[in-house]
């Protein structure tokens, strides 16, 4: 949404480009290839900064949650209702070790 605002706000359009009214809506056009290249580079930089920001935010949230709940993890075996479940796991682990 912010990228759209940046592209279609007249004061924020890249140098060498302009808004052109076509068929009832506005389209951003550039005077030459250099201006078009400049506009594409600016959009790529803006998109990359949003991707980097999202990654930094995600990693920060992960680190905070790990710090808060990292030492409180307790693993338990779920009761599946299968009789002899433990012996089956022991047999499989013994067979795997013997190979």
Residue 54 to residue 11: CA distance in whole angstroms: 27
Q: What is the reported pLDDT for 60?
A: 97
Q: How many domains does the chain have?
A: 1
> Could you count the other beta carbons within 10 Å of the beta carbon of residue 13?
19
The residue range of the domain holding 79 is 2-98
Q: For residue range 28-87, what is the model confidence (pLDDT) as tens digits?
A: 888 999 999 998 898 899 889 999 999 999 999 999 998 887 776 666 666 655 555 555
Share of the chain above pLDDT 90, in %: 23
Write out pLDDT tens, residues 42-59. 889 988 999 999 999 999
Rounded to two decimals, the pTM is 0.57
């Amino acid at each position: 949404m912010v990228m759209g605002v940046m592209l279609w706000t007249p004061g924020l359009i890249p140098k060498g480009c302009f808004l052109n009214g076509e068929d009832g809506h506005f389209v951003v056009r550039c005077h030459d290839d250099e201006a078009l290249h400049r506009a594409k580079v600016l959009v790529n930089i803006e998109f990359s900064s949003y991707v980097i920001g999202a990654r930094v935010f995600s990693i920060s949230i992960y680190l905070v949650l790990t710090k808060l709940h990292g030492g409180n993890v307790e693993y338990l075996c779920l009761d599946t209702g299968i009789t002899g479940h433990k012996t089956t796991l022991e047999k499989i682990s013994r067979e795997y070790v013997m190979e």
